[in-house]
Amino acid sequence: MATEDIQVTPYNGSVGAATLLGSEQNLLISSFGTPTTGTLVDGDGILGSADDGATTFNGDSVTYIGSGTVTPGVDLGVLGVQLGTPVDVVVFEAAGQIYFHYPAGEPNLAGNIFLVVNIDATPYSVITPICFAHGTEIRTPTGCRPIESLHAGEKVMDIDGNRLDIRWIGRIHLRIPARRAFAKWHPVRIAADAFGRGHPYRTTWLSQQHRVLVRSALNELYFGESYCLAPVVQLADGAGVRIDRSVIDVTYHHILCDRHAVLLANGLPAESLHLGQVAQMGLSRAAFGEFEIAQELGDEIGSVPAAAPVLRGFETRLLAREALPG
């Protein structure tokens, strides 16, 4: 089962599910309640109408409504004007309550009156890969090795030269459908030297939510830290770092070490799998085989500290992009 803790915002207005799905709607911001967090459980990692009744949110059966975008706007009296940036949204109903979930973060509502909602019945993929693409070379005590050649019980080295035991290696192969809901499966392509000479030392592909170590003159000002971990997709500049939509078949690999660490992937400082991300991946055990390590680690999941402070998407966009040399 794919399980993910998600933040949702309840919609308390009068517009029903059928109307939301039928056409673009302007919904008053005042019709939304306070954001809350709950647990979504889904059998295959894909949320759609075929799952109605089988998927649950906080134990209640889910009826899927749709996915698409919302855009903040203001009412000028005779017409509404969209002012904000469109934000991805997933809309579903559970226990008679309609919820809006924003996978990449909430829209900026400051100064706005309504949300322009534009959704359709396209399924939403709960799976959010957090991993290295096949062929990525990871630094080990005996040199750099392709990630697919590594095994549990072997050692890798972090950015400071410390040796770490590999607790678990996971792999999943994805064939990416040509549908918007699966766009987050495409990897980010990082050109050689995109973050400075040798960082990375060759073209590298990471999943979009994989975090890399970055530094900025603004890091200390905003967050009180010299170096932070940031999702690589938020560093995309359309040139040296960009989402590679030409990739429709990709094999992703995960490395779980005895602690969360910053590894060197083709010379680029990038994180190992953090235990708190296991649920975020939304991947079923069937996708990986028996994930026995999760049972062994038990209460450690979610409690292991991150190797560096973690930035959210909007925080990353505040900073000038500069990768930490390896």
Strand, helix or coil at 110? coil
Structure tokens at 168: 């678990």
CA distance 126 to 182: 9
Q: pLDDT per residue over 300-321, tens digit each?
A: 544 566 666 676 655 555 554 4
Q: How many CB atoms lie within 10 A of CB 245?
A: 12
Q: What is the pLDDT of residue 280?
A: 47
Q: Which of 300, 247, 250, 248 is nearest to 273 (CA)?
A: 300
Q: Which of 58, 12, 15 is nearest to 37 (CA)?
A: 58
DSSP state of 181: G
pLDDT at residue 269 is higher than 80? yes
SS (H, E, C) 252-297: EEEEEECCCCEEEECCEEEECCCCCHHHHCCCCHHHHCCCHHHHHH
- For residues 199, 202, 203, 208, the Cα torsion angle rounded to the nearest 10 degrees is -40
Q: Mind listing the pLDDT tens digit for each residue in 119-132?
A: 998 888 766 777 89
Asked if 318 and 222 touch (Cβ cutoff 8 Å), the reply is: yes
End-to-end Cα distance, the chain: 38
By percentage, how much of the chain surpasses pLDDT 70? Answer: 74
Residue 162 has pLDDT above 80, yes or no: yes
Q: Token digits for 129?
A: 């890969």
- Residue 99 contacts residue 17 (beta carbons within 8 Å): no
Q: Within the chain, where are the H helices?
A: 17-22, 217-223, 277-280, 285-288, 292-297, 313-317
111 pLDDT higher than 50:
yes
In three-state secondary structure terms, 161 is coil
Does the model's pTM come out above 0.75? no
Q: Select the more confidently predicted residue: 135 or 43.
A: 135
Rounded mean pLDDT of 64-92?
78
> In this structure, what is the dihedral angle of CA atoms 132, 8, 14, 66, given to the nearest 10 degrees?
20
